Structure 1
Amino acid sequence: MALHSKHPASAPPEAPARETTAHLMLRAWCIFVLFTALAGTSLVNAFGELAAAVIAIGSGLLSLGLWIGIRPPVQWRRLPEFALAYVVWAGLSFFWSAWPQTTALTLLLLALTTLQALFVGIVLTWRELVRAIASALKWVLALSLAFELFVSLFVQHAVMPGFQPTPEGKVDPIVFWSRNNLIDGGRIQGIVGNANLLGPLCLLAIIVFAIRLAAGAPRRVPLYIWIVVAAYMMVRAGSATSYAEAAAVVVVLITVLLMRRAKGPGQRTPYYIGYALIGIGGLAALWALREQLFALVGRDSDFTGREQIWEVVLAKANERPWVGWGFATPWNPSDPAFDGWIIDHGQTVMQAHNMWVDVYLQLGIIGVVLMALTYLAFVWRAWFFAVDRPRWDLRDDRPYSALSLLPTLVGAILLVQGLQESSPLLLWGWMFVVMFSFKIKQSPHIGVGPAEQTLAIERGELTKQAR
């Protein structure tokens, strides 16, 4: 009969370390925060502007309280200074704003989004952050598909926001929350209520799920299924912008993988030249062949009326070229300054459909410079975060991590999207720029450094200390 020795050669077996309940709840909260940023318009469509504002303010205050209570390690000298400078400049614009009420409301949204970006970036490790983004995107996709299916099977007609009665007479499809197109083959809009918002979210989901697969995530079969679901919904959304974003992502991804194969800085030069030529040539080809290309996806060569919007916005922006007319992201259609100013499909336009034109209108040349510096710093750090081998000592053979690809691919999505939409200035677009900029500066190496105290954070030891 086997007996345990009274003098064992090793420590007795014990259960593996597990995350505390407090930390599991913290991570769940971060998933909710990310979901509200990714699908923020769904809250407005479902519950109305007032309820969405209460949720945004309440969640921001709760995140601030958690940050104070947990006290995660922060290197205060390594903040995303250009992004924060843009926020400060936007705040100062209140003093000369031509629409002070809209400026005050949208400044609150900008401040809350920035706070949430910093909060999520500092309380989660890189692995947890990518996992949380994936979970939030699954909720967006699942709820979008379920919502469209519910409308098609049970409601069986187009749905207004908040399930309000459809107005009498001819109604432009742009006002509907869902157009009841899931079964008949038309464009779907998901819970966000806009196909041009749903398409980029589906592309982001494909990228995140693929990165998790490359990083060796468990339960791989469900991830493949989610990729198929995201691809199907992206095609059904039919957003021309998301197709352009996908092309940019492919170019960036191929270039990064080639850069990783280079054995020295000198070997990267041909790749940089080729990358620049492809990028410039691709933009030139897109512009020269825009009529044929946009006809293939059912769009006008003038970008569905965007050129006319840009002309009107630029004419007004040129009247105050340096400081702009005051922060307003998004434009408030109930404000007299915007109500009826630019009409598209019978509705007051809420953005300039180009983030650079929008910033120029609101914050002038100074704002454009600050935004350009914000993106330059983000893209620069994200690029080398992806292409440089992890190194903090003499060892130079550490393997690359698939997780380091995410920030630079997100940057490609937002830069392309910013040419057609103002979405990168708010909600998940702005949150991801600030969050990744902050995270890279705090944790330039995945799993290494004070902000990447993997065991302490993932097991919830910091949470226990705070208590």
Structure 2
Amino acid sequence: MAVSGNLPHAPAAAGLPPAHDDGASWIRDDRFSWLLAAMVWALVVLITVPEGFDYSALTTNDMPTSGSAVSRLQWLTLIGLGTAFLLWRGGLAWLLVRWFNPFLLAFVILAVASTLWSIEPGITLRRMIRVAAILLCVGAMVLVAWHPRRFQQVLRPIVTALLVGSLLFGLAFPHLAIHSESAAELAGAWRGLTNHKNSLGTLACLGLIFWLHAGLARDTRRLPALGGAAVAVACLLLSRSSTALVTSAFTCIFLLMLMRSPKGLRRWMPWLTALFAAVLLAYSLAVLRLVPGLEVLLTPITAITGKDLTFTGRTEIWAIVIEQIRLHPWLGGGYGAYWIGPIQGSPAYEMVRLLYFYPGSGHNGYIDIANDLGGIGLLVLLGYLVVHVAQCLQLMKIDRGQAALYLAIFFQQAVNNLSESHWLNVTTLSMVVMTAASVSLSRALLEHRLQGAFGRPRSAEAGEYRSVPLRALPPGSLIAAPTGGPR
């Protein structure tokens, strides 16, 4: 559901007084539902699968900043389609922005501004093209043909398809789908259709969350839910990603608690959720060594993950990145401008000089954000996470099952980013999923407020749709009025 035309009274949305005296009817319209889903699916595939299945290019100096003319055309097409839907639903889009997580908008503004001081302004600008595509695609997804389960009904099929495709790809082309490196942590590990075993592990973790939630919420029958979960577990085990295994266990247990906790415990779940979120943020600060002595909190993580005290070389990577952060502590070196490849003379080449390999990321989402956007960027990230949890707790009073899914996505991301760099990273699927969850969460809260003021929309019969001016319509989830309706 969405709104046709402009919303002249959008500023009144903060109060949303009841308005049933104009004879208008709320009309549900699912037109373009498949086109919008296809846009998001294309976005997911573009980010997840290496272009042309060229896995050898992942180790070249041109990655990940290169891209063919076809790839650029695909990204620009997504931006164009997203912009068209945004303009078509401009009134509702403006109203929705008022319900956005404000720190998501702050991130976009800061990332754009960082082009001015970026150590690689051209790379930062390319990253912003991807940011625009992601925001426009997921924004269009919630502006048109909206319903409360839209988030998972769009993302679950494409995640599952990529997991099934990874299994088939591994059987048909093992030399491409399975790591051939000699390093112990990579040898024999599956990456499937993705670019790395950890990427496949993250994809499998997301698939497991979606299918576990579908089964618990009874969004699908038990057999398909079990089948989807089995495919996700198979990919998870084949990837041999210890981070993904730990993240999956933690997140699934938490999701079970949210969805199937005894009634006596449910009143405490918001407090437990806030406590878990606070602990995770404390861990992130401990990694950054911002509070003296807080690094003692890292000891339990090493015990849980089974990694040694060096996090399999991660602390050495972190130390080098933190030294880079000290060169530009407040504003960073520019969004996405540090990890441009093992190019001699670039700041990231210090990894090759000191560690004799190029890790490709800081293996910590909080550290990489601080490196890209400085202390201000880190504060924006923390604010984004706090507001996301707060909005989830607000939605929990309205739609417990959907709020549980958005919280599970948050915890999956928060735990994963302790040893992987996915926060607000446009080269990862996690950016698409987390942004879609955040925008869908805002749309759900807005929808509840609008329906409380104007009632639930009714379904329209085929052929009844006709766009009309919204002077006579209350602002909300309408997309059109029936023939003969208010003009």
- Length-normalised TM-score, structure 1: 0.74
For 2:244 and 2:109, locate their aligned partners in 1 and report how far apart those are by CA, in whole Å: 31
User: Do residues 324 (structure 1) and 345 (structure 2) align?
Assistant: no
For 2:99 and 2:461, locate their aligned partners in 1 and report how far apart those are by CA, in whole Å: 23
Could you tell me whether the CA contact under 8 Å between 2:318 and 2:367 is conserved in 1?
Answer: yes
Could you tell me whether the CA contact under 8 Å between 1:126 and 1:447 is conserved in 2?
Answer: no
Q: What amino acid does structure 1 have at the position aligned with 2:328?
A: R
In the other structure, the counterpart of 1:245 is 247
Deviation at 1:191, TM superposition (A): 0.6
SS state at 1:402 partner: helix
Which structure 2 residue ranges, 5 or more long, are not aligned?
Answer: 1-26, 58-65, 287-294, 469-478, 481-487
In the other structure, the counterpart of 1:122 is 143
In the other structure, the counterpart of 2:77 is 58
For 2:369 and 2:219, locate their aligned partners in 1 and report how far apart those are by CA, in whole Å: 39
Could you tell me whether the CA contact under 8 Å between 2:103 and 2:384 is conserved in 1?
Answer: yes
In the other structure, the counterpart of 1:150 is 172
In the other structure, the counterpart of 2:118 is 97
User: Do residues 135 (structure 1) and 153 (structure 2) align?
Assistant: no
Change (3 A) 1:45 1:110: farther
Deviations 1:403-451 (CA, angstroms, capped at 9, x unpaired): 3321100000110111111123224322333322222222228888469
SS state at 1:187 partner: coil
Could you tell me whether the CA contact under 8 Å between 1:212 and 1:403 is conserved in 2?
Answer: no
In the other structure, the counterpart of 2:375 is 365
- Structure 1 segment 436-447 matched on structure 2, within 5 A: 436-444=437-445
In the other structure, the counterpart of 1:403 is 402
For 1:403 and 1:460, locate their aligned partners in 2 and report how far apart those are by CA, in whole Å: 32
Could you tell me whether the CA contact under 8 Å between 2:194 and 2:200 is conserved in 1?
Answer: yes
For 1:439 and 1:371, locate their aligned partners in 2 and report how far apart those are by CA, in whole Å: 18
- Structure 1 segment 410-429 matched on structure 2, within 5 A: 410-426=409-425, 427-429=428-430
Which structure 1 residue ranges, 5 or more long, are not aligned?
Answer: 1-16, 162-170, 391-399
User: Do residues 195 (structure 1) and 197 (structure 2) align?
Assistant: yes
Could you tell me whether the CA contact under 8 Å between 2:49 and 2:195 is conserved in 1?
Answer: no
User: Which sits farther off after the overlay, 342-351 or 72-81?
Assistant: 342-351
Selected match of 1:352 from 338, 344, 362: 362
- Structure 1 segment 66-81 matched on structure 2, within 5 A: 66-69=85-88, 73-74=92-93, 75=95, 76-81=97-102
Could you tell me whether the CA contact under 8 Å between 2:99 and 2:446 is conserved in 1?
Answer: no
Could you tell me whether the CA contact under 8 Å between 1:290 and 1:301 is conserved in 2?
Answer: no
Change (3 A) 1:263 1:71: same
User: Do residues 27 (structure 1) and 37 (structure 2) align?
Assistant: yes
User: Do residues 340 (structure 1) and 362 (structure 2) align?
Assistant: no
SS state at 1:324 partner: coil
Could you tell me whether the CA contact under 8 Å between 2:302 and 2:311 is conserved in 1?
Answer: no
For 1:460 and 1:307, locate their aligned partners in 2 and report how far apart those are by CA, in whole Å: 62
Change (3 A) 1:45 1:338: farther
Change (3 A) 1:134 1:330: farther
For 1:126 and 1:42, locate their aligned partners in 2 and report how far apart those are by CA, in whole Å: 33
Change (3 A) 1:73 1:457: farther
Q: What amino acid does structure 1 have at the position aligned with 2:119?
A: A
Could you tell me whether the CA contact under 8 Å between 2:251 and 2:408 is conserved in 1?
Answer: yes
Could you tell me whether the CA contact under 8 Å between 1:143 and 1:191 is conserved in 2?
Answer: yes
- Structure 1 segment 187-336 matched on structure 2, within 5 A: 187-218=189-220, 220-257=222-259, 261-262=263-264, 287-288=298-299, 294-295=305-306, 299-328=307-336, 331-333=339-341, 336=345
Could you tell me whether the CA contact under 8 Å between 2:393 and 2:403 is conserved in 1?
Answer: no
SS state at 2:42 partner: helix
For 1:358 and 1:136, locate their aligned partners in 2 and report how far apart those are by CA, in whole Å: 28
For 1:18 and 1:369, locate their aligned partners in 2 and report how far apart those are by CA, in whole Å: 40
Q: What amino acid does structure 2 have at the position aligned with 1:364?
A: G
How many residues get paired?
A: 413
In the other structure, the counterpart of 2:393 is 383
Could you tell me whether the CA contact under 8 Å between 1:199 and 1:238 is conserved in 2?
Answer: yes
Deviation at 1:327, TM superposition (A): 1.4
Could you tell me whether the CA contact under 8 Å between 2:115 and 2:334 is conserved in 1?
Answer: yes
Change (3 A) 1:292 1:375: closer
For 1:83 and 1:420, locate their aligned partners in 2 and report how far apart those are by CA, in whole Å: 22
Change (3 A) 1:90 1:25: closer
For 2:112 and 2:277, locate their aligned partners in 1 and report how far apart those are by CA, in whole Å: 36
For 1:385 and 1:260, locate their aligned partners in 2 and report how far apart those are by CA, in whole Å: 19
Deviations 1:282-330 (CA, angstroms, capped at 9, x unpaired): x9998436666555xxx54422211001101101111221111111167
For 2:356 and 2:438, locate their aligned partners in 1 and report how far apart those are by CA, in whole Å: 39
User: Which sits farther off after the overlay, 121-130 or 82-91?
Assistant: 121-130
Change (3 A) 1:115 1:269: closer
Could you tell me whether the CA contact under 8 Å between 1:209 and 1:223 is conserved in 2?
Answer: yes
Deviation at 1:44, TM superposition (A): 7.0
In the other structure, the counterpart of 2:6 is none
Change (3 A) 1:356 1:285: closer
Change (3 A) 1:341 1:268: closer
For 2:304 and 2:269, locate their aligned partners in 1 and report how far apart those are by CA, in whole Å: 32
For 2:127 and 2:274, locate their aligned partners in 1 and report how far apart those are by CA, in whole Å: 41
SS state at 2:363 partner: coil
What is the aligned-residue identity percentage?
18
Tell me how large the CA RMSD over aligned residues is: 4.1
Selected match of 1:88 from 91, 105, 109: 109
Deviations 1:323-351 (CA, angstroms, capped at 9, x unpaired): 11111167211764246231398653332
Q: What amino acid does structure 1 have at the position aligned with 2:381?
A: M
- Structure 1 segment 145-184 matched on structure 2, within 5 A: 145-152=167-174, 157=175, 172=181
In the other structure, the counterpart of 1:165 is none
Deviation at 1:248, TM superposition (A): 2.7
Deviation at 1:462, TM superposition (A): 7.0
Deviation at 1:223, TM superposition (A): 2.9
Deviation at 1:245, TM superposition (A): 1.1
In the other structure, the counterpart of 1:6 is none
Q: What amino acid does structure 2 have at the position aligned with 1:432?
A: V
